[in-house]
Amino acid sequence: MPAFEESYLGQLVSIRKLTGKDYKFLLPAARAVVRDPSGKVLFVRRKDNGKWVMPSGSQELGETIYDCMRRETREEAGIEVTSATVMAIYDYFATSDDFYQTLHVQFLVEEWSGKVVKETDETTDARFLSVDEIRAMVPDKISLYYLDVIDDLDKFDGRVIIK
């Protein structure tokens, strides 16, 4: 795993320092929706801000979006994705004054191997949460937009959802 400064996102942070707020960026990213046999969804707790998120992150140059999702899931949860399907594509706009847009390709992970690791370089915990547990953690510990993700997971019929 490259140091943050060497990552695509880290390079954009450096560029932003040089350019000020004159340039706008589009950041491709991938998210993994991983379920256990009971239907609970995997969330990891970020080390940097303490929020619970699904394994996700920015795509690196030279990497496919599928490989991005696999890498992020391995880095943040320790498991190896062996099969996944594109479930949805989301556009997110930054809420800060530093304008950027993220295009998230969300994958429904159908098969994975290994054991979930609770603590990694990027996370302090990992667990499978029920829909009721997720709803109870919004908005203090889990961002509100994950309710859309959970609702879309329930509606997913094999056709890609675009939002």
67: CATH:
3.90.79.10
Q: Is residue 145 part of a domain?
A: yes
Q: What is the pLDDT of residue 153?
A: 96
Q: What is the pLDDT of residue 8?
A: 65
**Domain count of the fold of the chain:** 1
> In which residue ranges of the chain is pLDDT below 50?
none
Q: What is the pLDDT of residue 18?
A: 82
Q: Is residue 100 part of a domain?
A: yes
| pTM score, whole prediction | 0.88
CB 29 within 8 A of CB 44: no
Side by side, the strands of the sheet bearing 161-162 are: 56-58, 25-34, 100-113, 80-93, 161-162
Cα-based angle 31, 4, 140 (whole degrees, multiple of 5):
50
Domain that holds residue 56: 26-162
Q: What is the pLDDT of residue 99?
A: 66
Q: What is the mean pLDDT of the chain?
A: 91
Angstrom distance (rounded) from CA 87 to CA 156: 7
Q: What is the pLDDT of residue 162?
A: 97
Cα–Cα nearest to 110, from 130, 127, 129, 87: 87
Alpha-carbon 156 to chain mean position? 18
